[in-house]
Amino acid sequence: MHTAEIRRRFLDHFEQAGHTVVPSAPLLFDDPNLLFVNAGMVPFKPYFLGQETPPWQTATSVQKCVRTLDIEEVGKTTRHGTFFQMNGNFSFGDYFKEGAITHAWRLITGSVADGGLGIDADKIWVTVLHSDQEAREIWRRVAGLPDERIQDRGLLDNYWHMGVPGPGGPCSEIYVDRGPEFGPDGGPVVDEDRFLEIWNLVFMQEEIANVRAKDQFDVIGELPNKNIDTGMGLERVAYLLQGKGNLYEIDEVFPVIEKASEVSGRTYGKDHADDVRFRVVADHVRSGLMLMGDGVTPGNEARGYVLRRLLRRAVRSMRLLGFEDPALPLLLPVSLERMKASYPELEADFPRIEQIAYAEEDAFRQTLGKGTQIFESAAVKVKESGGSGLSGEAAFTLHDTYGFPIDITLEMAAEKGLSVDEEGFRSLMAEQRSRAKADAKAKKGSHADTTVYRSALDANGPTDWQAYTTLTTESRVQALIAGGATVPVLGAGSVGEVVLDRTPFYAESGGQHADAGHLQWDGGRAEVLDVQRPVRGLVVHQVRVLDGELTLDAPVEAVVDAEWRLGARQAHSGTHVVHAALREVLGPTALQAGSYNRPGYLRLDYGWSGALSPDQLHGVEEASNRALRADLPVTAKTMSLPEAREWGALALFGETYGEDVRVVEIGGPWSRELCGGTHVDRSSQIGTVVITSDGSVGAGNRRVEALVGIEGFQYLAKERDVVRQLTDLLKTQPEDVPGRVNDLLERLKAAEKAAEKIKAAQLLGAAGDVAASARDVGGVAYVGHHAAGAAGGDVRTIALDIRKRLADRPAVVVVIGDAGDKPAAVVALNEAAQERGLSANDLIKVVGAQIGGKGGGKADVAQGGGTDVAGIPAALSAVEAALAR
């Protein structure tokens, strides 16, 4: 049974049982504590935590998930994968244990002909919490399971909670016996390879507090509404029903292994090391496809770094399999063919996805080239020093600074007969991970505690948010917060947070900066510094009290700065216009991948490989301003997400949308996007769009910046003034300025070259006099010369010229220049001096010690530099003293 068919049967089963089918949330979910959705229940957390009222009593979903904590273990075991799908059914105060068990039993044991999965009931075992006799009795009664196939387990295995105070409860796990060839008998408590867990039913019935560990917490009471949360691993069920040994061999994954085997010439199943590489390729290509499909782009931080690592590990593994040509163009389409049955949107978006992926592979191949050069240099130094191994620090630098994988370092070192200090490398990697975890923990801590905001929401309900309709509201203070706790008053000069019953202020979201403005009341005034939504439904204003005292329950007038809001509306609408113009000029793959706007300014990241030509950039700017001149209507409509997608509205990557969404149109279908921001009424109100820059922000991604409104006019006015000043200085017309400036630059370059020639001739002309000043030191002719104003190239020329003039005797020449206040030194010895046992490479180190630098070279010529010009006389004297010794 294909994976997509299992998915369909699961959803159909619960839909027929009255559940609402909820589409999978994007992998990028609005949760500050998660990089990606990592469990099927994540999108439902607000309902389980009581932060929001669920729109349905029962629901079902197949949720896309990504876990990357064990990324290094992928392929080494049959259990670890990064992307997976979690089937789930949920009840919010509707059915409880018996309903959950009954639904699960009917699906897994129901006949294939009737829409079930057809698993043999005699092969099913379950576990329950040792104290949950109710669940045991239901399994006996509903499923007819004998006691020996219902096994007790403790809190560590069969109790679920989120790790924080809140809901919790016992769970019951469903296992399938795969047979004696997979391990010993005795049920899941004996062996979890033979007895494969496929489904976990969580019975959320208790409120817990004082959570100390997974099995250490206090139960403080029963939940008023008992809920059900289940999770069935789709990939596990697939490889069970398809008769495969692991998740890498199911129909959605194995075709990538087959393609990798075909192009590499290696066979899957013959060599463990190669099998690991094949599995890494298959897992990471699929995970990369799904992440890019949800809008993640490769980068050096957070989600982008995870994607970059997945793609590069896949490419690296193909190289280790002996395939050195571009691999993703061959593998990614194979994964698309297998995944589009469940996620048809991937096919429509594939031109953008492949553009990003192939650009990342090209960049990584260049990185491999650079890393190879660095490695070769490090290997030569090891051999020259008589060593036999590359240090852990060198391997770590290759990995961390140049992105050079340790596997390739090990491979290349072995080819040269060198070892690598893997223990030292792993130690440095562990230190880096520890720092990263500590940093992540610190960042998480700054976001995680929302207790005070939840309390305000529970006590007063959601904020009446009126940002779309007005700039002022008569409001009442519902909560005052300072230092993470509620306070009764905010005094003059203090900074704190204010929750109002209603507000006209736009809270920062969707790339739009928060509104500016003020609160005023009888006897006081406060400046609004920031506006955020720390929990859904609650708008919180950060304020600085300017006069008076702000107290609880005080009536206030909330006033948005009208000029600020106008600029913000112009910038946000301008962002939509520039996005549409990019797609008009470049094509549909130029999709927005992130944005930021504030009054007068916008920044938009978009998927594209390669720099835009001047004509393309001008085309985007002209298309934008033509839209402004056309005075296009700007409208907003609210509809369901499926309706919006059918209507052709663009859902921007990285954003999270609810059941109902707001679609903003500019000129009808020309620009139609899901957006919660504030906008102008007609495009002409944007004023102007002036593109100020376009540059790369990573492989396959670029960033355009622009000014709008009065800020755009001011920018153009400054440029006009600069041109006017140039025309006055050059006595020419504006259109002739570039030519005149180019002529001046050419003349300046010619003059500089002439001056350099004159200077070089003067320096060389003095070389004869300098050579004549040679003194006998230790039996050799020594010249120590400070060439004032000379740079590195001139210094070398002078030193070699002087050495040539002293060919009749052993000679040592040291010349040090000081151009740019940086010493540049050259030591030159003739053959006769070298026969005396002297070396330029040794003497340059004597020089370096005095001028704050270092250098190197061969026995006849060595050169170096430093930082201390004042040390030049001491350097010349030190060489003389060394020769005398």
As annotated, the binding site for Zn(2+) includes: 572, 576, 675, 679
Radius of gyration of the chain (CA): 35
What is the Cα–Cα distance from 822 to 789, expressed in whole angstroms? 10
Residue in 102, 197, 205 with CA at minimum distance from that of residue 153: 197
What is the Cα–Cα distance from 765 to 774, expressed in whole angstroms? 16
Place of tokens 């040291």: 814
CA distances from 721 to 621, 717, 726 (A): 21, 6, 9
What are the residues facing 555 on neighbouring strands? Answer: 476
CA distances from 788 to 284, 845, 869 (A): 60, 21, 10
684 φ, ψ to 5°?
A: -60, -25
What are the residues facing 195 on neighbouring strands? Answer: 177
Task: Give binding residues as ranges.
Answer: 572, 576, 675, 679
Residue in 400, 293, 397 with CA at minimum distance from that of residue 347: 293
**Residue 116 corresponds to which amino acid?**
G
Residue in 281, 310, 313 with CA at minimum distance from that of residue 297: 310
Q: Return the SS3 of 287.
A: helix
| Strand blocks (E) in 323-400 | 389-390
What is the Cα–Cα distance from 87 to 77, expressed in whole angstroms? 23
**Residue 767 corresponds to which amino acid?**
A
Calculate the CA dihedral of residues 630, 634, 639, 645 and round it to 10 degrees.
Answer: 40
CA distances from 523 to 438, 478, 504, 518, 549 (A): 46, 19, 22, 14, 8
Q: Give the list of residues 6+ apart from residue 291 with CB closer than 8 angstroms, or none.
A: 27, 36, 66, 83, 303, 306, 307, 310
3-state secondary structure 774-805: CEEECCEEEEEEEECCCCHHHHHHHHHHHHHH
Residue in 674, 673, 671, 647 with CA at minimum distance from that of residue 660: 674
Q: Supply the DSSP symbol for 246.
A: S
Residue in 424, 413, 411 with CA at minimum distance from that of residue 379: 413
Q: Give the list of residues 6+ apart from residue 77 with CB closer than 8 angstroms, or none.
A: none
One-character DSSP codes across 561-579 = -HHHHHHHHHHHHHHHHHH
What is the Cα–Cα distance from 607 to 579, expressed in whole angstroms? 11
What is the Cα–Cα distance from 855 to 867, expressed in whole angstroms? 12
Which two tokens mark 37? Answer: 């959705």
Pairing of strands 166-177, 124-129: antiparallel
Pairing of strands 124-129, 150-153: parallel
One-character DSSP codes across 434-498 = HHHHHHHHHHHHHHH--HHHHHHHHHH-S-EE-TTT-SEEEEEEEEEEETTEE-SEE-TT-EEEE
What is the Cα–Cα distance from 345 to 285, expressed in whole angstroms? 17
Report whether 359 contacts 611 (CB < 8 A): no
Q: Supply the DSSP symbol for 39.
A: S
One-character DSSP codes across 729-783 = HHTS-GGGHHHHHHHHHHHHHHHHHHHHHHHHHHHHHTHHHHHHT-EEETTEEEE
